[in-house]
Amino acid sequence: MKKEINGYVIEVDIDNDPESPREWNNLGTMICFHGRYSLGDKHDYREPYDFEKELKQIRKNGVVLPLYLYDHSGITMSTKPFSCRWDSGQVGYIYVTKETILKEFGGKILTKKLKENMIKHLICEVEVYDKYLRGEVYQFTIKKDNEIMDSCCGFYDEEECILEAEGIVNCY
């Protein structure tokens, strides 16, 4: 995408070397098991069975969502199952413990409303990770007279990338 504003040219492209959003400081922990892909957060579990005991404890006091992967000419991830039983299936979980929630948001009890907010938050973390898996990460370059004035990468939303570039051009 190219756009010209007052003599500045904004070019928005796919970021070909994005950082995994799982490298950031996420609230949720993503535990995945797959034979061909290294997905989610790093962990020491060899098999899903090794994680089951801990998962039972987390379910009692925290928030846990399943993770599903669709693998066909690329991969995509969701907290809801895909309709294709041949190329999709559950690959793991994303969770946040009660202790982490209360440390982050304060309070002494995990209320229903706080749990609902955590579910929404975990879904958002998975949606961002899904964009990364699908290659939907963007970068912009701002040029004036074919000279690069500014650039930035790592936007997980194309519209946000464009708005950031436009804001910088407006400051010039």
pLDDT tens column, 33-68: 999 999 999 999 999 999 998 999 999 989 999 999
What tokens appear for 81 in the block? Answer: 């199952």
Same domain, 39 and 82: yes
Distance in angstroms (rounded) separating the CA atoms of residues 172 and 169: 5
Say whether pLDDT at 17 is over 90: yes
Same domain, 162 and 111: no
Same domain, 94 and 12: no
Q: 8 is in which domain, residue-wise?
A: 2-17+137-171
Say whether pLDDT at 85 is over 90: no
Same domain, 158 and 126: no
**Mean pLDDT value across residues 145-172:** 95
Q: How many domains does the chain have?
A: 2
pLDDT for position 41: 97
Same domain, 66 and 84: yes
Query: What does 67-82 look like in DSSP terms, one character per residue?
Result: EEEEESSSEEEESS--
SS3 104: helix
Query: Does an H or E element contain 90, and which?
Result: strand 88-96
Answer whether 0.75 is exceeded by the pTM: yes
